[in-house]
Structure 1
Amino acid sequence: MIHLLALAVPASKAAPVGQHAAGAPGMFGAVLALLAVLALIVGLGWLLKRLPGTGFRPAEGLRVVASLNVGAKERVVVVEVNGEQLLLGVTAGGISPLHRLPEPLPVIPAATLPNLKQLPNFAQLLAQKLRKEP
């Protein structure tokens, strides 16, 4: 028992608060570990994009034409498959075909869509609000 007490470090010789022990990693090690984790995430994302069947790439011959939310988790979707359009009901429980459209939906002309160049962006709106004094 006396030998164990002799090995204990007195409180006056302990490392001051704010200093690391000899084996603890410093700020450089933490930044290096963070960069390694970020590189791993980016590398895995790149790899998953190149693997077939991962779902990141849109399927060829399949396109969502229109979508309408009809509830919190329910939607009605028009999907075009090889030139044929289908009306599908999408719920949390699954997908069910509702109707096969005899002719494709009409394309919305570009004139009816809002011109995005005329809309102010977030930076412009924020600068405008910050310039106004209460």
Structure 2
Amino acid sequence: MAKLLALFAAGPLAALAAEPATVAPLTNSGIAGQLVQLLLGLGLVIGLIFLLAWLMRRVQQIGPRGGQVIKLVASQSLGPRDRLVLVQVGTEQILLGLTPGQITPLHVLKEPVPLADAEVATPEFAQRLMELLGKDQKDKP
């Protein structure tokens, strides 16, 4: 019985040893084929990125867009990590103190601070960039 088991075990090994070792050559697709494959893969990844960006914008538009209840009226930095924020909720304005670990309501204004809707404050860099591009802020509709 042991001889029979040894014969079965050694049979495939002997067959492998008897055959000459041949390496299958790689298909010679050339550089053009590899370049096409690379470009198709890159195009697929870039297309997937654009698709996900489009989906993110669509998902964000589902929520309340123009009818937001809470509006940031003004913000003033007091230090590197502390600031005062004036928030409007409906018709009521609340002055908040923000620190890294806490938000504290400081004062509820009896009369709301009037909002300057006529001129939107733009950062200095954005304003300078618009001037350089030849687009004046007054041209906005």
Specify if TM > 0.5: yes
Answer with 1 or 2: which has the greater Rg: 2
CA separation of 1:32 and 1:21: change in aligned 2, threshold 3 A? closer
8 Å CA contact retained: 2:84, 2:95: yes
The answer on 1:70 being equivalent to 2:78 is yes
1:66 and 1:99 map into 2 onto residues whose CA distance is 14
Shift of 1:21: 8.5
Name the structure 1 match of 2:113. Answer: 105
1:23-42: CA deviations, max 9, x gaps?
x9723322322233223322
8 Å CA contact retained: 1:74, 1:92: yes
8 Å CA contact retained: 1:64, 1:78: yes
8 Å CA contact retained: 1:85, 1:104: yes
> What pairs with 1:105-124 in structure 2 (closer than 5 Å)?
105-108=113-116, 120-121=128-129, 124=132
Gaps of 5+ in 2: 1-15, 134-141
Percent identical residues: 27
Shift of 1:85: 0.9
TM-score normalised by length of structure 2 = 0.54
Given candidates 41, 63, 79, the residue that maps to 1:30 is: 41
CA RMSD in angstroms comes to 4.1
1:104 and 1:73 map into 2 onto residues whose CA distance is 26
Name the structure 2 match of 1:7. Answer: 22
Structure 2 letter corresponding to 1:52: G
Aligned residues: 113
8 Å CA contact retained: 1:15, 1:21: no
State the secondary structure of the residue aligned to 2:113. coil
CA separation of 1:21 and 1:90: change in aligned 2, threshold 3 A? same
Shift of 1:87: 0.3
Given candidates 53, 66, 75, the residue that maps to 1:42 is: 53
1:70 and 1:110 map into 2 onto residues whose CA distance is 27
CA separation of 1:106 and 1:43: change in aligned 2, threshold 3 A? closer
TM-score normalised by length of structure 1 = 0.56
Name the structure 2 match of 1:83. Answer: 91
